[in-house]
Structure 1
């Protein structure tokens, strides 16, 4: 009888070892699958982040170009206004002359008269 019990116990232990080995292998496979999934998700997120940063960089560059264009247009407008209208300033001179600057040239006007039609 003792041999029979030993055989049953040995068989039980062997089956238990096999079940444990199968469980360990299953857990290892699940762990590998999980690691693979995590790596894939991290790669996807990194790709989206890189694309987002590239788009942000392009937009910032476009904004900088537009700001430069607006600044240049503003400067050109100021130059045009200066050329077309000149800049006049009433000097508090003793002779009451009006000084006008056109394109960097200063002109003094001592007398005013109505423009002829």
Structure 2
């Protein structure tokens, strides 16, 4: 991501990040991917786990797509809210298939759960 892209998209990335983070447990560790700014990652502590089980959830990776971000940035507030509602519906449906990894042994590798919405959440100008 170039410096100009960072400056231009940062407010919209923060809006999406805050919006998406609110869909996860309160103690979520939430970040953007370091190389692809349109990818968000989330994981959280698994409380009350036995000593031999994982204490951190399986990571959720949400890919929104660079073009979608650019389009979202140009929306008025009404269209932004409609896009967020649509994004919520997609993420909610995909998360029905999510396994948090609580049955995994401690320190066992868990593949991230990918929520790739860039095609279904195809925003347009």
How does the TM-score come out when normalised to structure 1? 0.23
- Greater RCO, 1 or 2 (C-alpha within 8 Å, sep 6+): 2
Structure holding more helix per residue: 1
